[in-house]
Structure 1
Amino acid sequence: MHAFVLLHAAWHGSWCWERVAPRLRELGHAVHTPDHPDLDDVLHEIDAETAPVVLVGHSSSGMLVSAAAERRPDHVALACYVSAFLLPDGELPPDAARRDTESILGAHLVVDPVHRIRTVRDPEVVFYGECSPEDAAMAAARLTPEPLVPTGGSPTTLTAEGFGRVPKVYVVCEKDRALGPATQRWMAERTPCRHVYGLPADHSPFLSTPDELTTCLHDAATRFAG
């Protein structure tokens, strides 16, 4: 079938794909879930595959997907954005976040200037509102602090010849409180996508709706990745 590279978001780890990855493998796909990857790590995952890959980015890792697509347009068959930042060249997540009136993430950020880290207060509410209490507590306990200044070097310039050549799909999470659904749809409209899926999910469909998310990813790869 296809080779998927699933990229997790800030504060999370590769553990967030523990329910989706086995489901994709059961459908015949190869699946890779690098832990805390930077752009070089993602490019290494792409280069290790003999055929073009399907890149999936959740939330902040949408920026990694876009950067990798720019660098490897002939080796990325499809870029999938799951409640993720899909932004044009020159725009960064804070630019989109400023227009997001639905998100409660900013009000729940906790900044530690001494240790230069950021954490999230009440992540069960911000990230996991549609999960079971048990799943929300489990996931919240596995979150790790993020540095105040993200690592990974300078932003990648996005061009029509690179990033613009890669087909894209978007998965909107309709009950998201971390990245508002209206902002998700706005991003998917500004940067044309082959298809926009909608899920009745919070910011973490890999936990709250893993079957439905797997169906979206499988359908996207089957229809749009060639």
Structure 2
Amino acid sequence: MADNGCNKHLVLVHGACIGGWSYFKVAARLRSAGYRVTAPDMAASGVDPRPMRDVPTFRDYTAPLLGLLGSLPPGEKVVLVGHSLGGVNVALAAELFPDKIAAAVFLCAFMPDHTSRPSHVLEKFIEGDWLDWMDTEMKPQDAEGKLPTSMMFGPQITREKLLQLCSPEDLTLVRSLMRVSSMFVEDLQVQQPFSKGGYGSVRKVYIVCKQDLAIPEGFQRWMIESNPVEEVNEIDADHCVMLSRPDELARCLADIADSYA
């Protein structure tokens, strides 16, 4: 990867139960090539101090990303990358700040359309039994059911479905830093679809991870067929591609930034 980033800005959004730290290998490679990289923690994730019970809605969860985009100087655009559940964060951000986003990149991520409710892709994923949840813990957070169901990946699913191509060191790191999260399905079910003029107007790129056992390639392809994108890239990687294939992912993201930003 040549040193030609020209200060192009990539914002990398993590998935459930992990944090911005998950991009450490990719961020280092992109920065050394001259790109600006920000990898924010969503609320109650990474080093954000809040507990999940203090984050009742998906918009609350996404607030750190929305604050970042809202603070960008006029005219600045970013390449916004979402991994896994982070694709829904990217969609919400694109809905609210379409003029701030040069391209929205979905990295083996849930990609909503702009005709169905934002929960639709998550519901289809769950209903279709695309994932054996193994030792994942799903729990109500409150007796009244006002808070979204919490989720925590167990050691078995992390090892066998999320990081099966990663090193033992990476697996140890991920297990030690994982936090309780949520898919926020209950909250996303009561939201209106994203708009054609907001999220629908933003250019989209999908990166398919071909050995993903968490969001399998078949489901990734279904989302692309349901909501066509400008470009599809492929990496021969597991779900945690940023850890298992950081060189390929950094090159891919640099190419996308060079094309769209």
Give the TM-score taking structure 1 as reference length: 0.89
Is contact 1:100–1:179 with CA below 8 Å preserved after alignment? Answer: no
Secondary structure of the residue that 2:98 maps to in structure 1? coil
Structure 2 alignment gaps of length 5 or more: 1-5, 44-60, 143-148
Inter-CA distance 175–101: structure 2 relative to 1 (3 Å threshold): farther
Match of 1:141 in 2: 176
Secondary structure of the residue that 1:108 maps to in structure 2? coil
1:124-167, Cα deviation, whole Å (9 max, x unpaired)? 11210001122212212211112585798864631111111110
Given residue 107 of structure 1, which amino acid in structure 2 is its aligned partner?
M
Structure 1 alignment gaps of length 5 or more: none
Are positions 1:176 and 2:203 aligned together?
no
Given residue 8 of structure 1, which amino acid in structure 2 is its aligned partner?
H
Is contact 1:100–1:180 with CA below 8 Å preserved after alignment? Answer: no
Given residue 166 of structure 1, which amino acid in structure 2 is its aligned partner?
V
Are positions 1:110 and 2:137 aligned together?
yes
Match of 1:157 in 2: 193
Match of 1:120 in 2: 153
- The percent identity for this pair of structures is 31
Give the TM-score taking structure 2 as reference length: 0.78
Q: 2-side partners of 1:161 and 1:46: how far apart?
A: 18
**Root mean square deviation, CA, Å:** 2.3
Given residue 82 of structure 1, which amino acid in structure 2 is its aligned partner?
L
- 2:91 aligned residue (60, 66, 73): 66
Is contact 2:110–2:122 with CA below 8 Å preserved after alignment? Answer: no
- 1:94 aligned residue (105, 122, 125): 122
Match of 1:78 in 2: 103
Match of 1:46 in 2: 69
Q: 2-side partners of 1:65 and 1:156: how far apart?
A: 16
Shift of 1:189: 2.2
Inter-CA distance 98–158: structure 2 relative to 1 (3 Å threshold): same
Q: 1-side partners of 2:97 and 2:192: how far apart?
A: 12
Q: 2-side partners of 1:156 and 1:26: how far apart?
A: 41
Q: 2-side partners of 1:25 and 1:195: how far apart?
A: 24
Shift of 1:211: 0.6
Q: 2-side partners of 1:48 and 1:134: how far apart?
A: 36
Question: How many pairs does the alignment contain?
Answer: 224
Match of 1:199 in 2: 235
Inter-CA distance 214–107: structure 2 relative to 1 (3 Å threshold): same
Instruction: Give the stretch that moved more between structures: 113-122 or 167-176.
Output: 113-122
Match of 1:22 in 2: 28
Is contact 2:163–2:171 with CA below 8 Å preserved after alignment? Answer: yes
1:151-193, Cα deviation, whole Å (9 max, x unpaired)? 9886463111111111000111111111111101111222121
Q: 2-side partners of 1:102 and 1:151: how far apart?
A: 19
Given residue 98 of structure 1, which amino acid in structure 2 is its aligned partner?
I
Inter-CA distance 41–152: structure 2 relative to 1 (3 Å threshold): farther
Inter-CA distance 215–174: structure 2 relative to 1 (3 Å threshold): same
Determine which structure has more spread, i.e. the larger CA radius of gyration.
2
Shift of 1:91: 4.2
